Amino acid sequence: MRDDDPRLKLFLDHRATLVDYATPIVGDRMRAEDVVQEAYIRFAPGAADGVAAGRVAQPVGYLYRIVRNLALDVTRRRQTEDRNRLQHRPDWLAPAELPAPDQGLLDRDETRRMAAALADLPERERVALKMHRVDGRSLQHIADHLGVSVTTAHRLVQGAVLRLTLALRDEDGA
């Protein structure tokens, strides 16, 4: 390549701004430098028929377009690789979420309070709540089982939830 090549001069004149242009797209300056170098290889004489023959109407715009397309390709490729790496990471490499030291005590206390509040519920409310929230039964199924209307079954579940909420709130001092 000759030093008087107009494409080389054009590239060298715009190289710094091309790197600045590519940096926010790819995320760091080093990758942007690589993208700009790759763009020059594609822009250089003989790289493409249109450029080699001098048929590009706006060579600076063409150079920026090459940089932009290459930068977007690099970004997409990196995102795909990151996504694939995370999907194929073994479970044992995932960071373990350790509970706070006192969390076990708080959980046991809350479980004890919940069990006491459940024990204090009227029998039909306790059965309706268990069937609905634990077993996932429909209100129609609960109504059939208890021999009541669907509206009454709904009221029993709603009443049990309200009593539990109030009981636990009262113990918290709220």
Q: The domain that contains 153 carries what CATH number? A: 1.10.10.10
Both tokens of 55, joined, read 């048929």
120 and 76: one domain? no
Tens-place pLDDT, residues 13-59: 999 999 999 999 999 999 999 999 999 999 886 655 545 446 788 99
What is the extent of the structural domain holding 25?
1-87
Chosen domain end from 31, 57, 87: 87
73 and 140: one domain? no
Judge contact between 27 and 76, C-beta under 8 A: no
Chosen domain end from 21, 54, 87: 87
Which segments of the chain have a pLDDT < 50?
50, 52-53
Residue 19 lies in a domain: yes
**pTM attached to this predicted model:** 0.47
Cα–Cα separations (whole angstroms), residue 6 to 3, 11, 54, 59, 73: 9, 9, 10, 10, 27
Residue 94 lies in a domain: no
Residue 101 lies in a domain: no
Q: How many domains does the chain have?
A: 2
82 and 132: one domain? no
83 and 110: one domain? no
